[in-house]
Amino acid sequence: MASPCEVHVADADRPTAEAIVALAAVEAARVEAKFSRYRPGNIIDTINRANGRTVVVDDETARLFDYAQQLFELSDGKFDVTSGVLRRVWSFDGGDRVPSRKAVDALLASVGWRKVRWRSPDLTLKPGMEIDLGGIGKEYAVDRAAALVRDMSSSRCLLNFGGDLLALGPQADGLPWRVGVESLNGDDRPAKQIDLQVGALATSGDARRFLQKDGKRYSHILDPATGWPVVDAPRSVTVAAPTCTLAGMLATLALLRGRDAEAFLDAQGVQYWALR
């Protein structure tokens, strides 16, 4: 998951707690191994190396592509799992290496879900295009792991995969889990504290992935239509929802709206915390 992952178990004996943690870890590793763009030989790598050939995918992968298509349509094309190819020129490592407009424009021909032929279970990309499920993968892993834990045990616990969280009930004493939202200025004190008893929280923002040059900060949230960072978006958006996948989707779609992020979330009727 390229980030710290943890499971807090509130009310179980040690063998049960260890079994819960092991189950969540195995599922997280499975999802990452199957869907990470960095893993050679998995289904994403197979698709990205197909060079125009049609790839037949399994049911789980097909459901994720159906979801990606739904997000593309809901966001008017701003959430696009083909836009990961832009990482060839963008490296959001906190440095100041901003690519040229010419370099960005050269990649736009390889971006666009509308250019993908998706007729489940058959997927065909044009040569040079790639799929990147990083925008939904971690949240999906949280929900999958939580579902397995819920089936195995009635213990109350909190799953946290790199800041995307899901609570299966409150702590043993009935108190909520206290979750901190990372500060924008990099200090150790959280910008906000959220009490979570059940359900999910997901955060999207540029606290760790950004560029800064000549006093201007460039967020890693890219507009696939232009290939450039979204303008006037909040620095961070955290959303509460019943599932981590839904919370993450709403947080990301909000950031893609730029200055209209809060208005978008207000219209959804969800609880959220936006930092600018």
Give me the domains of the chain, ranges plus CATH numbers.
5-275 (3.10.520.10)
**What band does 234 get if pLDDT is binned at 50, 70 and 90?**
very high
* Residue 37 confidence (pLDDT): 94
pLDDT tens per residue, range 68-120: 999 999 999 999 999 999 999 999 998 999 999 999 999 999 999 999 999 99
Half-sphere exposure of 80 (CA within 13 A, CB side): 24
Give Cα separations from 84 to 6, 65, 130, 206 (angstroms): 27, 15, 7, 16
pLDDT score for 250 = 97
pLDDT band of residue 187 (cuts 50, 70, 90) is confident
Whole-prediction pTM value?
A: 0.94
| Confidence band of 1 (pLDDT split at 50, 70, 90) | confident
The residues, ordered by sequence, that sit 6+ positions from 132 with a Cβ below 8 Å of its Cβ are 37, 44, 81, 82, 83, 84, 85, 87
Q: Give 184's pLDDT tier (boundaries 50, 70, 90).
A: confident
pLDDT (0 to 100) of residue 146: 98
Helix boundaries (H) for the chain: 14-35, 43-48, 59-74, 101-107, 134-152, 244-256, 261-268
Band (pLDDT 50/70/90 cuts) for residue 255 is very high
Average pLDDT for 43-63 = 98
Q: What is the mean pLDDT of residues 251-263?
A: 96
Is 207:196 a contact under the CB 8 Å cutoff?
no
The mean pLDDT of 161-168, rounded to a whole number, is 96
Q: Percentage of the chain surpassing pLDDT 70?
A: 100
Say whether pLDDT at 206 is over 90. Answer: no
- pLDDT (tens digit, 9 = 90+) per residue, 117-160? 999 999 999 999 999 999 999 999 999 999 999 999 999 999 99
Mean pLDDT computed over every residue of the chain: 95
| pLDDT over 90 (residue 33) | yes
> Rounded to an integer, what is the distance from CA 82 to the centroid of its chain?
14
3-state secondary structure of 6: strand
> Quick check: 221 pLDDT over 90?
yes
Q: Give the pLDDT of residue 57.
A: 98
Q: What is the mean pLDDT of residues 54-79?
A: 97
Instruction: Report whether 237 contacts 261 (CB < 8 A).
Output: yes
Which residues, in sequence order, are CB contacts of 257 under 8 Å at separation 6+?
78, 230, 233, 263, 264
pLDDT (average), residues 4-24 = 96
Q: What are phi and psi of 16, to 5 degrees?
A: -65, -45
CA-to-CA separations, 253 to 204, 214, 238, 243, 250, in angstroms, rounded: 9, 28, 12, 16, 5
- Return left, alpha or beta for 64; rule: phi > 0 is left, psi -120 to 50 is alpha, else beta: alpha
- pLDDT, residue 172, reads 86
For the segment 238-250, what is each residue's pLDDT rounded down to a tens digit? Answer: 999 999 999 999 9
